[in-house]
Structure 1
């Protein structure tokens, strides 16, 4: 009986975690980003492609002209760094050319990162 309860509880945690619903919401939220970024490799718009952004060093998409501050930031786009950046890009990287004002909702940021990870 205890094994069954643990299995059900584990299943519920998986459903409540980074589920397809989170990724689907992240895809909807990405529409804000899509004005300047694409999710396909090699596609540059006003901003660099975000394909494979999670785990990538900042300022490293070949052929995209980053601000000097972004190139020198020394950041790697892991979940924590992306979260801080998406909260307030100009605070995280003063001198960035990104004009996005930021997102305040942590759940939305998590969903957006889940979507970006799904496209890596």
Structure 2
């Protein structure tokens, strides 16, 4: 009887761990899909190659406007911002309100989309 109980507990634990792993993979896939849809026309995340706008790989923790070789707006370059989850939350909500003169005009009005993008950027 005791072995059966232990086996059942182990099975439930394995099932929960598998469920968590599948959920995390689904969240990551949703984040990448959203990034491609909303950001991918201008920004790269899978590579450090700049496109129409700077790549976003390693963005969290980096000073705004600091990627060498990209021509940032003076407003963003001189903003003194270091990208964190909080600064990204504000910026993605309304870039031009946070940094008047920035070239980024894309807003993320949906809080879930903002968090999904921020989580993706934080993981790269």
C-alpha distance in 2 between matches for 1:41 and 1:53? 12
Describe the superposition over 1:18-37 as per-residue Cα deviations: whole angstroms up to 9, x where unpaired: 93333222111101101000
Change over 3 Å in CA distance of 1:73–1:62 after alignment to 2: same
Residues 16-55 of structure 1: matches in 2 within 5 Å?
19-31=24-36, 32-55=38-61
The residue aligned with 1:110 is 115
Q: What count of residue pairs does the alignment treat as equivalent?
A: 107
Q: 1:58 aligns with which of 44, 60, 64?
A: 64
TM-score (structure 2 length as normaliser)? 0.76
What secondary structure is seen at the aligned counterpart in 2 of 1:75?
A: coil
| Larger relative contact order (Cα-Cα within 8 Å, sequence gap ≥ 6) | 1
C-alpha distance in 2 between matches for 1:110 and 1:40? 19
What secondary structure is seen at the aligned counterpart in 2 of 1:51?
A: coil
| Contact 1:24-1:115 within 8 A present in 2 as well | no
C-alpha distance in 2 between matches for 1:25 and 1:113? 12
- Runs of 5+ in structure 2 lacking a partner? 1-8
Task: Tell which structure's C-alpha radius of gyration is larger.
Answer: 2
| Contact 1:23-1:112 within 8 A present in 2 as well | no
Comparing both structures, which one devotes a greater share of its residues to helix?
Answer: 2
2:92 is aligned with 1:86: yes
Cα offset for 1:73?
0.5
TM-score (structure 1 length as normaliser)? 0.78
